Structure 1
Amino acid sequence: MDDLRQDAESLLTKTSLSDGVDRRDFLKVALGTGFAAAALPVVAQNVIKTDTAGLVAGTITLTVDGVQVPVYRAQPEGKTNLPVILVVSEIFGVHEHIADVARRFAKLGYLALAPDLFVRQGDPQKAASIAELQRDIISKTPDAQVMADLDATVAWAKANGGNGDKIGITGFCWGGRITWMYAAHNPSIKAGVAWYGRLMGDSTPVTPRHPVDIAGSLTVPVLGLYGLKDTGITQDSIAAMKAALAKGPNKAVFVVYPNSGHAFHADYRASYVEADAKDGWTRLQAWFKQNGVI
């Protein structure tokens, strides 16, 4: 629920476009229709658009436990033995911004894969409201299912030109929490970068544990990128996570940006903070290089 609340607070700020682009038309192209297209504020001049020149990019489909799971794939054309990055979306699913992030990784030489981890529960972009999105999709997406889908994505990567010894993961908000959790689930991951992912929460059948619960046994190095002004992910929760990590073997690092709140990397939203997003992206690249992903 905290993931959803933070995205809602970020999204419901009114924003106008300064370049004459109609906000709703832009979103129909970028994100589809439904709740996301109706409510997301967009600052069009900030939106990063990464082309596909020199890339193979598009959607592939995996079969996981009899279910067809779409995965957005981007990679350099004609190359194999590529380092692999799993890109885990916000609560709004694999829309154009997440696909663009995958293309950015591909331009850096990675095989980037962004699976639709909500496919069994529904399409977040078609939810009519935040309440519906939470009730019908987010609250019904079990961690165990997500871990299995990511496992299948890793298996596909290994069989299709990816280097199984060089796999990293990154994710945003909901996906930031999943980054911590998958790093604990799959210790063969070389490194993770969690962008403002929730660290604590109630134990439920869907989310029985949270990052603070697995911190003591975590061996995969994770870089956590957070905003000081994030009202949902408090500094107390970050302190609790650091204390839990200190009891185990992990060498996680936190960077807290004093001028940012939640979703500061999301260039299509009013929450975007360009300087911190760029700094985080630079730190991400250095972290993956330092920890043997590339």
Structure 2
Amino acid sequence: MAHDLRADFHSLTAALPPLSRRGFVMTASAAVGFAAAAGPVSAETVIKTDTDGLEAGDSAFTATDGTEVPVYFARPVDDDSAPVILVIQEIFGVHEHIKDVCRRLGKAGYFAVAPELYNRQGDPSGYDDIQTLLSEVVSQVPDEQVMSDLDDCVAWAAAEGGDTERLGITGFCWGGRVTWLYAAHNPDLSAGVAWYGRLVGETSDTTPQHPIDVAADLNAPVLGLYGGADSGIPVDTVEEMRSALEEAEQSFEIVVYPDAPHAFHADYRPSYREAPAQDGWERLLAWFDQHIAAA
């Protein structure tokens, strides 16, 4: 990854508005893999999905350690046994875009649940500086905690009437990486869709493995959606993952959109690209229909 850290860091910070750029000081190694700052978080999204025909809103489950973990969910009102899809946040948390993704999945017939996976470490909506958010919150979230919370979230969805025998997961950026990891963690997962999740990187106490390390251990087919112009996730790392999956004879598909940057699906940020975002969403629905809804 050291091949072009300065270029990656420049690309990352150049996308920020001037006021944010002046206050944005982080090491290039922290920036690479997230390419987080394609613009500030905004409540304004291009796609706005209503709740007609849905039961949607806030709830919570009790994690194994006793922590109350908030969730946002959306599901069809006329289906008491809809398949469950876990929706995993970007570094910015469960904001309006992630909630809208849940409603879109609800309209497609799924019980979509987005848990607040930074709940113990902090509220990402309270940060206006990405360096501080990464150092004080994101980097403090252990993968082990995330996997356990997702297991507890699945149990909560089952208790609420969701069909967890037909279980999927999708995630964006930070959540894209989590999607790959959870596919290796949960033997009962039916399918996953990872949007521009980091695949390789340095390990730490909180992140002891990355997707490339568990490529041979996936329990379910995963669709990976990546941008060819993503400076934080070089295409050669995507191809490295593809080779590892092929060698392990896994069921998967990886799609690279040549001109798309990081976060091309995030319709509240300047990185949004309508064509690959729509194509990726159609692929997600087809993937879940093939591996979950039709099961």
- Per the TM alignment, residue 7 of structure 1 is displaced from its structure 2 partner at its CA by 10
- Per the TM alignment, residue 247 of structure 1 is displaced from its structure 2 partner at its CA by 2.4
Check the 8 A contact 2:83/2:292 in 1, yes or no.
no
Give the counterpart letter for 1:175 in structure 2. Answer: G
Q: Which residue of 2 is the match for residue 277 of structure 1?
A: 277
Q: Which residue of 2 is the match for residue 152 of structure 1?
A: 152
**1:7-156 paired onto structure 2 within 5 Å:** 9=13, 12-13=16-17, 40=40, 47-64=46-63, 65-156=65-156
Q: Which residue of 2 is the match for residue 189 of structure 1?
A: 189
Q: Which residue of 2 is the match for residue 290 of structure 1?
A: 290
What is the DSSP-based 3-state SS (H/G/I as helix, E as strand, rest coil) of the residue aligned with 2:200?
Answer: coil
Residue-by-residue CA offset, 1:36-61 (whole Å, 9 max, x unaligned): 9xx617695x6111111111111111
What is the DSSP-based 3-state SS (H/G/I as helix, E as strand, rest coil) of the residue aligned with 1:86?
Answer: strand
Give the counterpart letter for 1:127 in structure 2. Answer: Y
Query: For residues 164 and 198 of structure 2, what CA distance do their matches in structure 1 show?
Result: 28
Residue-by-residue CA offset, 1:224-255 (whole Å, 9 max, x unaligned): 00000001111110121112112223111110
Structure 1 outlier segments of 4+, above 3 Å:
4-11, 41-44
Task: State whether structure 2 residue 216 is matched by structure 1 residue 216.
Answer: yes
What is the DSSP-based 3-state SS (H/G/I as helix, E as strand, rest coil) of the residue aligned with 2:149?
Answer: helix
Query: For residues 93 and 81 of structure 1, what CA distance do their matches in structure 2 show?
Result: 27
What is the DSSP-based 3-state SS (H/G/I as helix, E as strand, rest coil) of the residue aligned with 1:94?
Answer: coil
Query: For residues 208 and 171 of structure 1, what CA distance do their matches in structure 2 show?
Result: 19
Q: Which residue of 2 is the match for residue 227 of structure 1?
A: 227
Query: For residues 104 and 133 of structure 2, what CA distance do their matches in structure 1 show?
Result: 28
Q: Which residue of 2 is the match for residue 19 of structure 1?
A: none
**Unaligned ranges ≥5, structure 2:** 19-35
**1:160-171 paired onto structure 2 within 5 Å:** 160-171=160-171
- Per the TM alignment, residue 292 of structure 1 is displaced from its structure 2 partner at its CA by 2.8
Shift of the 100–112 alpha-carbon distance from structure 1 to 2, 3 Å rule, reads same
Check the 8 A contact 2:189/2:219 in 1, yes or no.
no
- Per the TM alignment, residue 131 of structure 1 is displaced from its structure 2 partner at its CA by 1.4
Query: For residues 202 and 263 of structure 1, what CA distance do their matches in structure 2 show?
Result: 22
Give the counterpart letter for 2:50 in structure 1. Answer: D
Q: Which residue of 2 is the match for residue 199 of structure 1?
A: 199
- Per the TM alignment, residue 217 of structure 1 is displaced from its structure 2 partner at its CA by 2.0
Number of aligned residue pairs: give it: 269
Query: For residues 118 and 232 of structure 1, what CA distance do their matches in structure 2 show?
Result: 22
- Per the TM alignment, residue 161 of structure 1 is displaced from its structure 2 partner at its CA by 1.3
- Per the TM alignment, residue 71 of structure 1 is displaced from its structure 2 partner at its CA by 0.4
Q: Which residue of 2 is the match for residue 17 of structure 1?
A: none
Task: State whether structure 2 residue 250 is matched by structure 1 residue 246.
Answer: no
Check the 8 A contact 2:89/2:171 in 1, yes or no.
yes
Q: TM-score, normalised by structure 1?
A: 0.86
The CA RMSD over aligned residues, in Å, is 2.4
Shift of the 158–43 alpha-carbon distance from structure 1 to 2, 3 Å rule, reads closer
What is the DSSP-based 3-state SS (H/G/I as helix, E as strand, rest coil) of the residue aligned with 2:178?
Answer: helix
